[in-house]
Structure 1
Amino acid sequence: MSSGGGRANSTLTGYAIVLGAIALIVGAMALVVDARRQEHIPSVDYTADALSLSEIAPYRSYAPEGLPEGWTPTSSRLETGGTLPGEEPTEPIRWTLGFATPEDRHAAFSISDADPDEFVAEVGMNGEPDGESAVDGRTWERRYNEAENERSLVLRADDATLVVSGGASYEELETLAAALEPQEPPQE
């Protein structure tokens, strides 16, 4: 009789050990997921690039102002072709500013006086026309690259091309486009 009770106790002990191990694994996984959810996205200050662009660009420059909470600037790249303030540019001047959106997607604003068709194809990842978006009284061309799931909004101004693009939804891209404000060079 005593051997049957011992077997039952050892079986229950085994189950308890396995359940404890599973609980520890699940708890550890929950901590990792929570820590990742609260990851801090590194933010960049793009003020210097926006100011430099307004000083050297032969076109009206733009920069986002007043984006809603949750938009984090993650990258800023100004390509001046070696142009300094007061000099006449010899190459197209281009600025690309990347963001993490509140929906944890990527969106970027790019502006350049490069050949508009080439610039749109490059920045918009060869997206196909996909309708239009009306943003603050301006009509932006929608483009979509289905293979990459990338969307773009394109505004062709007289002297430059503005492109808002990324894996974000059109609504998020429209939010970024609506935040773009003309920048004036500083007064001397």
Structure 2
Amino acid sequence: MERFTQGFYGYAVAMLVCLAGVGVFLLVTPQSRTEHLPKVDFSIDVANMRRDAPYQVWTPEPVPVGWIPTSSRMTKEKGAVTWKLGFATAKRPEAATRSHAMLAQSDEKPAAEFANRMANTSEVTGSIQINGVTWEQRLRKDKDQRSLVRLLPDATVVVTGTAQWEELSALAGSLKQQAKVAP
């Protein structure tokens, strides 16, 4: 019995017993194969934005099919009202995972600084027409981030993320302007 508890053979036997135990544990532990994405209801932030923002708010109506709203945050800082709404896009057949997209809007001044910060670049790489409206296209290759920017007289709207141009265009195309609500 002493032979198996000392030296290299004892160490090897102990390691095999431990690895066998871990293997059995992994085999009997249930594995979840489903996505676990947080889903948020952003309707409260929309209502607050319609009441508090000095500009007319843009919301996706309807949210693109298969997209999941994962975050919503409204802030009032330094006189600016900002709303950021994050999404996990629909699964694409060629991709194993979902991409991410965000709608950001604010009356922050200067507007160009807000747009540059949300897009992570100030370089305009082109423009695109979506529902008769021109959006600036911006690309940050090293972050795999694409952005659509719309500078309005009273606010800035940015649609950005790792989503493909078609997906970002679908989100931008779904945006509807909401009427301001009196406080």
TM band (smaller chain) = 0.7 to 0.9
SS at the partner of 1:120? helix
What SS class does the counterpart of residue 41 from structure 1 fall into? coil
| Structure label with greater radius of gyration | 1
CA distance in 2, matches of 1:185, 1:120: 23
* AA aligned opposite 1:111: Q
Shift of residue 65 of structure 1? 1.1
Selected match of 1:107 from 101, 106, 127: 101
Q: Which amino acid aligns with 2:128?
A: S
1:134 corresponding residue in structure 2: 129
Q: What SS does the aligned partner of 1:147 have?
A: helix
Query: Tell me, what secondary structure is at the counterpart of 2:172?
Result: helix
SS where residue 157 of structure 2 aligns? Answer: strand
TM-score by length of 2: 0.76
Question: Which residue of 2 is the match for residue 97 of structure 1?
Answer: 85
- Is the CA contact (8 Å cut-off) linking 1:44 and 1:73 kept in structure 2? yes
Q: Which runs of 5+ in 2 are unaligned?
A: 1-19, 92-97
| Alignment-derived partner of residue 175 in structure 1 | 170
TM-score (norm 1): 0.74
State the match for 2:41 in structure 1: 45
Residues 99-138 of structure 1: CA deviation (Å, up to 9, x unaligned): 0001310000000011211101110011522211111100
Within the candidate set 134, 138, 161, 1:166 is matched to 161
Q: Distance in 1 between matches of 2:130 and 2:88?
A: 21
What count of residue pairs does the alignment treat as equivalent?
Answer: 152
CA deviations 1:46-99 (Å, max 9, x no partner) are 001011111111111111111232100000010023xxxxxxxx6111000000
- Cα distance in 1, alignment partners of residues 64 and 136 from structure 2: 23
Unaligned runs of 5+ in 1: 1-20, 82-89
Separation in structure 2 between the aligned mates of residue 186 and residue 118 of structure 1, nearest angstrom? 28
